[in-house]
């Protein structure tokens, strides 16, 4: 039971199956100088939580991931890369937020969102939550939104730019379709037929059902290809990228990373896998789009914190549409 000094959190002590995650009582963290303490109302269970928990890391990146996630056991036992909640307390020197402010935050690789409270630097990736959304909806803006935005910031997208979003129905894909549409791009989404209505409703002009058609099979070419699946390697899609165009590898293995610079130089096409860490400005941009009705969080399912294992099981299917929200009552 939660007390004045302890909180309920979803904790994993070993890497492995969803059942490794369980509910525990932990000490409520105290905000240090420059930090805020958020009372978390909602977070999401993302594919990043799946990857960390199951140590499902792209080929060649296991050692690097172990530095952040832990070698023998998890170094960050509470997962959750994002949070939507209310400021509970602020550390010394914090003037940008006061207790009671509704906020959204991206903790990123620091994790910690699957708990009643989390601390984050006040000058980090935190901003006021959209006024037009519930905190549950607001939580679903963060993970895919900041990722798609970070990759799009590396290329020029404007009216008429042709963009192919591979994996258009996931958290990142649904965000990418909306952001590209908002910028005036002509968007083609790659998904299975059951998700065609979803991606079309988000702005996709054309849908390719990957179960029936290979994206590289036709003559169609694109200015920008965004790979949110991990199967659109440069070797595979090079001919489908217009001269001077770009491949945005939201997910890639070490081999693709190492080869990207040379491939880019040889072909005159950009191959991007590395993006800047998002901050408050990027989150605030998503909030303004959401408040003006130009960006909507896509929520597949919501689970209570107590049902965290079921939430992980569902995310593990790889079939979620948009986001899985975790309610923290
Ligand atoms: N670089 C970064 O900073 C960063 C940040 C966030 C995420 N990521 C990575 O980006 C990837 C996508 O993340 P996400 O959150 O969007 O994943 P997600 O929400 O779990 O993606 C699930 C979706 O993928 C679709 N999908 C599965 N196989 C597909 C295929 N062969 N072709 C087209 N669609 C397919 C599924 O649709 P169907 O059911 O129709 O197949 C499902 O809707 C992950 O690998 C993640 O690790 C990287």
Whole-model pTM: value is: 0.97
Please name the residue ranges forming H helices in 27-170. 47-54, 62-69, 135-152
**159-186 pLDDT tens trace:** 999 999 999 999 999 999 999 999 999 9
Predicted pLDDT of residue 2 = 60
Q: Is residue 218 very low, low, confident or very high in pLDDT (cuts 50, 70, 90)? A: confident
Using most ligand atoms within 8 A of CB, pick from 228, 272, 299 the residue to mutate for ligand 1. 228
**247-259 pLDDT tens trace:** 999 999 999 999 9
Q: Is the pLDDT of residue 1 over 60?
A: no
Using most ligand atoms within 8 A of CB, pick from 250, 256, 277, 301 the residue to mutate for ligand 1. 250
Atom 41 of ligand 1 has which residue's CA nearest to it? Answer: 192
- 283-292 burial, b at 16+ Cβ within 10 Å, e below that, comes to bebbbebbee
Whether the CB-CB separation of 42 and 327 falls below 8 Å is answered with yes
Distance from the alpha carbon of residue 316 to the mean position of ligand 1, in angstroms: 11
Please state the atom number of ligand 1 nearest to the C-alpha of residue 173.
16
Distance from the alpha carbon of residue 172 to the mean position of ligand 1, in angstroms: 7
State how far the alpha carbon of 258 is from the alpha carbons of 22, 56, 115, 138, 329, in Å. Answer: 38, 20, 37, 36, 44
Distance from the alpha carbon of residue 307 to the mean position of ligand 1, in angstroms: 23
In the chain, the domains with their CATH numbers are: 6-142+277-327 (3.90.180.10), 154-272 (3.40.50.720)
Give yes or no for residue 230 CB within 6 A of ligand 1. yes
Whether the CB-CB separation of 163 and 137 falls below 8 Å is answered with no
Give yes or no for residue 74 CB within 6 A of ligand 1. no
């Amino acid at each position: 039971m939660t007390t004045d000094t302890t909180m309920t959190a979803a904790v994993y002590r070993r890497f492995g199956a969803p059942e490794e995650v369980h509910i525990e009582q932990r000490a409520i963290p105290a905000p240090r100088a420059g930090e805020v303490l958020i009372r978390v109302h909602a977070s999401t269970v993302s594919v990043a939580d799946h990857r960390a928990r199951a140590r499902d890391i792209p080929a060649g990146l296991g050692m690097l991931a172990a530095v952040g996630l832990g070698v023998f056991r998890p170094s960050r036992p509470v997962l959750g890369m994002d949070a939507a909640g209310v400021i509970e307390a602020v550390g010394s020197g914090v003037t940008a937020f006061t207790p009671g402010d509704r906020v959204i935050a991206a903790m990123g690789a620091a994790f910690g969102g699957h708990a009643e409270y989390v601390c984050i630097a006040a000058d980090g990736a935190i901003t006021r939550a959209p006024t037009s959304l519930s905190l549950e909806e607001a939580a679903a803006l963060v993970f895919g939104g900041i990722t798609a935005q970070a990759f799009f910031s590396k290329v020029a997208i404007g009216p008429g730019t042709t963009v192919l979003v591979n994996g258009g129905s996931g958290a990142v894909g649904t965000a990418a379709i909306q952001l590209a549409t908002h910028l005036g791009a002509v968007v083609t989404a790659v998904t299975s037929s059951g998700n065609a209505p979803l991606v079309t409703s988000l702005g996709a002009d054309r849908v390719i059902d990957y179960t029936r058609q290979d994206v590289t099979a036709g003559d169609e070419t694109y200015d920008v290809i965004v790979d949110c699946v991990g199967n659109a390697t440069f070797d595979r899609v090079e001919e489908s990228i217009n001269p001077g165009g770009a491949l945005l590898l939201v997910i890639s293995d070490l081999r693709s990373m190492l080869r990207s610079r040379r491939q880019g130089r040889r072909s005159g096409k950009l191959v991007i896998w590395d993006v800047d860490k998002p901050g408050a400005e990027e989150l605030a941009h998503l909030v303004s789009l959401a408040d003006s009705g130009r960006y909507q969080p896509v929520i597949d399912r919501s689970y209570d914190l107590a049902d965290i294992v079921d939430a992980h099981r569902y995310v593990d299917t790889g079939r979620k549409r948009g986001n899985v929200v975790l309610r923290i009552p």
